[in-house]
Structure 1
Amino acid sequence: MEPKGILLETGTNELEIIEFHVANNHFGINVIKVKEIIQPIPVTFIPHAHPHVEGIIQLRGEVLPVVDMIKVLGIPNATYGAQQKYIVAEFNKQKVVFHVDNVTQIHRISWEDIERPSDMYQGGTSQVIGVIKQNDNMILMLDFEKIMVNINPNSGINVDSVRKLGKRNRSEKRIVIAEDSPLLRKLLNDTFNEAGYVNLEFFENGKDAYHYLETIANSGFDITETVQLIVTDIEMPQMDGHHLTKKIKTNSDLQKLPVIIFSSLITDDLRFKGEEVGADAQISKPEIAELIIKVDELIL
């Protein structure tokens, strides 16, 4: 099964997810993250590895870690069944294999149909970033970036890399940032502050960010005097980053605003998607120093 050939028109605010099961629970992963789905193959044990890592496999000459999703999700007394599969994924410039019970089907949905998890059950350690209602079932969208950062903290955003850029002057230029992950919003805030950018407006999805920009433009103010740059993730409930960028670049009042897409989904194969919607730059997470350099270039 190779879902990478299933590509949607860019900027429609739709996505395709692969539904998979772990211990009779339904989960989803964005098709764009998935390279292929294979039958399990023998795993080589790695001494002193993280408890969530089963070991490594060799696939077409590449050595890839295998992540045990039963352990990641903390499901007690669960074991893999006869239909178990390996999901080979790529994001954040890394490849990884997720061990799951079964892979069932692909769904095409709108980001508007993905509900944010309630604060009541989300918790500070939750890996759920969205809930999709499908008939009598609910499909939980998982934060795979957070899963990998928990296993390997070095794979996340590193504020120290910005300090290496040297002493920075304080800037009052206002930057609007659309990012759904609370953890990444905190890291981006710390990183931009370290880089001298302290006038930041954060939104947890593209819909809220666009409403903010539209409100300023409709009030009669020159938007470029109020906001100088947009940074957006791609995967966000309600409105994704590609759709946000497309709406900004097709709005005569907003189109002069530079937009940087900062996402784990920026790869050579998918860079054309950001180009189609008019992004001024695309930076792959977790290359935060590269993001700051590009902000410096575009915000002057």
Structure 2
Amino acid sequence: MAGILDTVDQRTQLVGENRLELLMFRLGGRQLFAINVFKVQEVLQLPKLTLMPHRHPHVCGVVNLRGKTLPVIDLSQAIGMRPLVPGPDSTIIVTEYNRSVQAFLVSGVDRIVNMNWEAILPPPASAGRHHYLTAISKVEEQLVEIIDVEKVLAEIVPYSAKVSREKLDDPILERARGREVLLVDDSSVALSQLRETLSQLGIKMHVASDGLKALNLLKGWADTGEDITDKLLMIFTDAEMPEMDGYRLTTEVRNDPRLRDLYVVLHTSLSGSFNESMVKKVGCDNFLSKFQPDKLVDVVRQRLLRDEEPA
């Protein structure tokens, strides 16, 4: 399993093709769970676990990995299932997203599968652990539940959506008041952060939970004769979403003459170095890592200033 993530260059070719790779694992039972491979740094046997006083109930302890101290989160307990018992044979998945690195304790890793986003569907609207799912799919007739790890992390390390007073006092941002934006994300946590931050600018928000819904909304507006570039100040889109990802959404926007001039910002938890190169490939105007309210406002300011540039 150590070499399972060695072909990242090959995986980048999936971008823009509406495809993804999932790392599948189990949490003590037969049910398969998954996470996008792009969030995964490595999979390994649990190193020596150090217990910490006053730690969050879902954090088993910390491990030292190549000189860095990482929290180990019991993913089973974090999503409302029975806690796992860490031991020398336990497995951890080391992940990087939202500008942080953490390890998830799992009972075992299955394999990596290459899938089309069209086969990834929204989760059922029900209680229990489904509250922590961002999507579901089927692999060889077996249900796979894709965990909303952004939500898991946000409950352990709460985020702030508050914009600094210095940013809000910028007179240029007054031009944003009353303008409309489209938010595209399947994570309720990410949408809440966007709403809380942008509401401080007086911006009106439309929401779509995946790229396909967003594209249909945009085309529907255009079909009624609306000038979409006048209607919308910008679009914030996640990268990973069921049915159509943010890369494909951007490609489809650029291919439609009625939409192609829209300002598109990739707003994602995935690593910056990867996404900055992918932004150019698919034609996004800007890239922003999630949960940075001041930088989110900076991106809005950049968009407003573009209106002043000579045609």
Q: Given that residues 21 and 27 in structure 1 are in contact (C-alpha distance below 8 angstroms), is that contact kept between their aligned partners in structure 2?
A: yes
Q: Given that residues 4 and 34 in structure 1 are in contact (C-alpha distance below 8 angstroms), is that contact kept between their aligned partners in structure 2?
A: no
Which segment drifts farther, 248-257 or 80-89? 80-89
Q: Given that residues 50 and 63 in structure 2 are in contact (C-alpha distance below 8 angstroms), is that contact kept between their aligned partners in structure 1?
A: yes
Q: How many Å separate the matches in 1 of 2:70 and 2:23?
A: 21
Instruction: Name the SS of the counterpart of 1:268 in structure 2.
Output: helix
Q: How many Å separate the matches in 2 of 1:267 and 1:16?
A: 18
Q: Give the superposition deviation at 1:225.
A: 1.8
Q: Which residue of structure 2 aligns with residue 5 of structure 1?
A: 7
Measured at CA, do residues 10 and 91 of structure 1 come closer, stay the same or move farther in structure 2, by a change above 3 Å?
same
Give runs of aligned pairs for residues 159-170 of structure 1, distance below 5 A: 159-167=161-169, 169=174
Q: Give the superposition deviation at 1:83.
A: 5.7
Q: How many Å separate the matches in 2 of 1:221 and 1:94?
A: 41
Q: Which residue of structure 1 aligns with residue 40 of structure 2?
A: 34
Q: Given that residues 36 and 87 in structure 1 are in contact (C-alpha distance below 8 angstroms), is that contact kept between their aligned partners in structure 2?
A: yes
Q: How many Å separate the matches in 2 of 1:266 and 1:255?
A: 26
Q: Which residue of structure 1 aligns with residue 21 of structure 2?
A: 16
Q: Give the superposition deviation at 1:292.
A: 1.6
Q: Which residue of structure 1 aligns with residue 147 of structure 2?
A: 142
Q: Give the superposition deviation at 1:217.
A: 2.5
Give runs of aligned pairs for residues 17-96 of structure 1, distance below 5 A: 17-24=22-29, 25-76=31-82, 79=85, 84-96=90-102
Q: Given that residues 111 and 238 in structure 1 are in contact (C-alpha distance below 8 angstroms), is that contact kept between their aligned partners in structure 2?
A: yes
Q: Which residue of structure 1 aligns with residue 112 of structure 2?
A: 106
Match of 1:229 among 226, 234, 246: 234
Match of 2:272 among 267, 273, 276: 267
What runs of 5+ residues in structure 1 fail to find an aligned partner?
Answer: none
Instruction: Name the SS of the counterpart of 1:236 in structure 2.
Output: coil
Measured at CA, do residues 74 and 177 of structure 1 come closer, stay the same or move farther in structure 2, by a change above 3 Å?
closer
Instruction: Name the SS of the counterpart of 2:53 in structure 1.
Output: coil
Q: Given that residues 15 and 108 in structure 1 are in contact (C-alpha distance below 8 angstroms), is that contact kept between their aligned partners in structure 2?
A: yes
Q: Which residue of structure 2 aligns with residue 151 of structure 1?
A: 156
Q: How many Å separate the matches in 2 of 1:269 and 1:176?
A: 24
Measured at CA, do residues 244 and 40 of structure 1 come closer, stay the same or move farther in structure 2, by a change above 3 Å?
same
Which segment drifts farther, 67-76 or 280-289? 67-76
Equivalent residue letter for 1:89: T
Q: How many Å separate the matches in 2 of 1:97 and 1:67?
A: 6
Instruction: Name the SS of the counterpart of 2:273 in structure 1.
Output: coil
Q: How many Å separate the matches in 1 of 2:294 and 2:84?
A: 41
Instruction: Name the SS of the counterpart of 1:228 in structure 2.
Output: strand
Q: Which residue of structure 1 aligns with residue 214 of structure 2?
A: 209
Q: Give the superposition deviation at 1:257.
A: 0.7
Measured at CA, do residues 120 and 69 of structure 1 come closer, stay the same or move farther in structure 2, by a change above 3 Å?
closer
Measured at CA, do residues 254 and 4 of structure 1 come closer, stay the same or move farther in structure 2, by a change above 3 Å?
farther
Q: How many Å separate the matches in 2 of 1:22 and 1:81?
A: 14
Q: How many Å separate the matches in 2 of 1:132 and 1:272?
A: 28
TM-score, normalization: structure 1? 0.91
Match of 2:121 among 111, 115, 118: 115
Equivalent residue letter for 2:44: I
Q: How many Å separate the matches in 2 of 1:4 and 1:193?
A: 42
Q: Give the superposition deviation at 1:260.
A: 0.5
Q: Given that residues 61 and 72 in structure 2 are in contact (C-alpha distance below 8 angstroms), is that contact kept between their aligned partners in structure 1?
A: yes
Q: Give the superposition deviation at 1:106.
A: 0.7
Which segment drifts farther, 163-172 or 96-105? 163-172
Matched, 1:189 2:205: no
Equivalent residue letter for 2:224: S
Measured at CA, do residues 277 and 65 of structure 1 come closer, stay the same or move farther in structure 2, by a change above 3 Å?
same
Q: How many Å separate the matches in 1 of 2:275 and 2:64?
A: 25
Deviations 1:228-263 (A, max 9, x none): 211111111111111111111222221111100111
Q: Given that residues 185 and 241 in structure 2 are in contact (C-alpha distance below 8 angstroms), is that contact kept between their aligned partners in structure 1?
A: yes
Measured at CA, do residues 82 and 56 of structure 1 come closer, stay the same or move farther in structure 2, by a change above 3 Å?
closer
Measured at CA, do residues 44 and 205 of structure 1 come closer, stay the same or move farther in structure 2, by a change above 3 Å?
same
Q: Which residue of structure 2 aligns with residue 283 of structure 1?
A: 288
Q: Which residue of structure 2 aligns with residue 248 of structure 1?
A: 253
Q: How many Å separate the matches in 2 of 1:188 and 1:77?
A: 32
TM-score, normalization: structure 2? 0.88
Deviations 1:17-44 (A, max 9, x none): 0001111221000000001111111111
